[in-house]
A = this chain, B = another copy of it.
Amino acid sequence: MITSTTGPQPADFADVRATNLAVVLRFVREHAPCSRADIAASTGLNKATVSSLVADLIDRRLVRETGLTENRVGRPATMLVLDGSPYAAIGVEINVDTVSAVATDLAGERLLTWRRSFSGGESVSQGVAGVGAIIRRVVSRMAKEERQVLGLAVAVPGLIDVQGTVRIAPNLGWRDADLGGDLAKALRDPGFPIQVDNDANLGALAEQRFGAHAGASDLVYLTGELGVGAGVILDGRLRRGGRGYSGEIGHVQLDPEGPVCRCGRRGCLEAMAGIGAVLRRDPSPAEIQIEIEEVVRLARAGDAGTLGTLAEVGRSLGRGVSILANLLNPEVVILGGYYVPLAPWLLPGVHEEVGSRVIAAEAGGLQVVASTLGYDAAALGGAARVLDSVDSGKLPGGLSRIP
């Protein structure tokens, strides 16, 4: 039998309304304030349909009318903006020594940004207890603001399969953990969906929605933590691979004669261009931030040894970025985590190697930039993943409310 997955999916008239509600919601997200006529003109939907869809979105409190009117010929139009005041999206990032939590409203405006110390190196159950306690406080804060939580997505540094099971999180020492299920129990079935994802994947979703290159179709986000991972967005969507394990660039070998990596192999990207290579040793997680600040101070002061190390690490990182560029031809590779404060000294070496190693002219249009989203990019990406679900048509309230 010949099968093909390239074609469109079946659509019947019942699907159309759900699809179109999401289309109108996204239009308002991107173009607010806008009128019903604007929506009709841009989407090709007729005005009566748009009016009915907008009424539904207003009923769900996803969209609201403003007092504003458009200053143009003809009858003044009532303008629409995102509402979402009764909703919140929550993202959480688990790291070795900290948990970050972010909550946003439907428009992506931050409602809350927390960072708490955490001892993730203990067992999964202790980890779940600790993270669960933090999430409960976030949820309770949202409840006080009378917001319904649309969903929660949790970033974990490790291999997460497509079902959301944590297969291996080496730096946490976790293995085969049903983190989402355990958190649902710890939160006593909170009534919103809980998703678990790789930290680099969620970093990429954060960049796609909130970053300086938001909307780029082909974007790779590189974490610069103890490990180095990639979140790969191609044709506008995160690409997870068959089992969800894409983006494991950290152990791609750059040099068979290179330094020994924590994984036991030689010359891995992580060993040559990870934070350990910058600090020239494997630091304890709690010390990294302080040590990176010291590296930045020395680099600013022109310390030759530090500048030499950063130039070398930048070139190694550039070799890794070149592999991404040759294989995937992204428009932009975004350096996250601890790469951000180091970027002024890393980027020249990255550009040098990218320029000489990428086959396509002008590196296929590639830009390499530092993230503008700060250390909680992956947590913010958790909120982005929740908002992506809404934008894809999983609207709160559900279609059962439509008469």
Task: Tell whether A118 is near chain B: CB-to-CB under 8 Å.
Answer: no
Contact between A2 and B209 (Cβ–Cβ < 8 Å)?
A: yes
Pick the interface stretch among A137-145, A185-193, A337-345, A385-393: A385-393
How many positions in chain A have a CB within 8 Å of any CB in the partner chain?
A: 91
Contact between B6 and A247 (Cβ–Cβ < 8 Å)?
A: no
Picked from B4, B9, B247, the residue with its CB within 8 Å of the CB of A388 is B4
Copies in the complex: 2
A49 to B6, CA, bound (A): 23
Contact between B391 and A7 (Cβ–Cβ < 8 Å)?
A: yes
A365 to B215, CA, bound (A): 32
* A3, A49, A392: residue with the most chain B Cβ atoms closer than 10 Å: A3
Give per-residue flags for A341-372: 1 if the beta carbon is below 8 A from chain B beta carbons, else 0: 00000000000000011111100111000000
Picked from B1, B12, B323, the residue with its CB within 8 Å of the CB of A45 is B12
Q: What is the CB-to-nearest-CB distance from A266 to chain B, in angstroms, rounded to a whole number?
A: 11
Pick the interface stretch among A61-69, A92-100, A285-293, A327-335: A327-335
Known: A8-B393, A19-B8, A167-B360. A241 touches B234 (CB 8 A): yes
Contact between A232 and B10 (Cβ–Cβ < 8 Å)?
A: no
Known: A7-B393, A364-B241. A359 touches B2 (CB 8 A): no
> Which residues of chain B come closer than 8 Å to A36, judged between CB atoms?
none
Picked from B19, B31, B326, the residue with its CB within 8 Å of the CB of A11 is B19
Give per-residue flags for A226-260: 1 if the beta carbon is below 8 A from chain B beta carbons, else 0: 00001010111101111111111111111111000
Closest B-chain residue to A49, C-beta based? B12
Known: A240-B329, A247-B327, A326-B249. A11 touches B4 (CB 8 A): no
Contact between B248 and A239 (Cβ–Cβ < 8 Å)?
A: no
Task: Tell whether A20 is near chain B: CB-to-CB under 8 Å.
Answer: yes
Picked from B2, B8, B253, B364, the residue with its CB within 8 Å of the CB of A23 is B8
Task: Tell whether A399 is near chain B: CB-to-CB under 8 Å.
Answer: no
Task: Tell whether A16 is near chain B: CB-to-CB under 8 Å.
Answer: yes
> Which residues of chain B come closer than 8 Å to A2, judged between CB atoms?
29-30, 107-108, 209-210, 214
> Which residues of chain B come closer than 8 Å to A5, judged between CB atoms?
208, 215, 217, 236-237
A122 to B341, CA, bound (A): 52
Contact between A329 and B6 (Cβ–Cβ < 8 Å)?
A: no
> Which residues of chain B come closer than 8 Å to A257, judged between CB atoms?
256-257
| Interface positions of A (Cβ within 8 A of B) | 1-13, 15-16, 19-20, 22-23, 26, 29-31, 43-46, 49, 107-108, 159, 167-168, 208-210, 214-215, 217-218, 230, 232, 234-237, 239-257, 263, 265, 319, 322-324, 326-331, 356-361, 364-366, 387-388, 391-393
**Other CB < 8 Å A-B pairs besides A11-B15, A265-B356, 20 of them?**
A1-B31, A2-B29, A2-B210, A4-B26, A5-B217, A5-B237, A6-B237, A6-B388, A10-B45, A11-B20, A234-B234, A235-B239, A241-B329, A242-B366, A245-B360, A246-B327, A248-B360, A253-B357, A323-B327, A327-B328
A-B contact pairs, 22 of them (CB 8 A): A2-B107, A2-B108, A4-B30, A6-B208, A6-B237, A8-B393, A10-B20, A10-B44, A11-B15, A11-B16, A12-B44, A13-B16, A16-B16, A217-B242, A234-B234, A234-B241, A235-B239, A242-B331, A245-B360, A246-B329, A251-B326, A252-B322
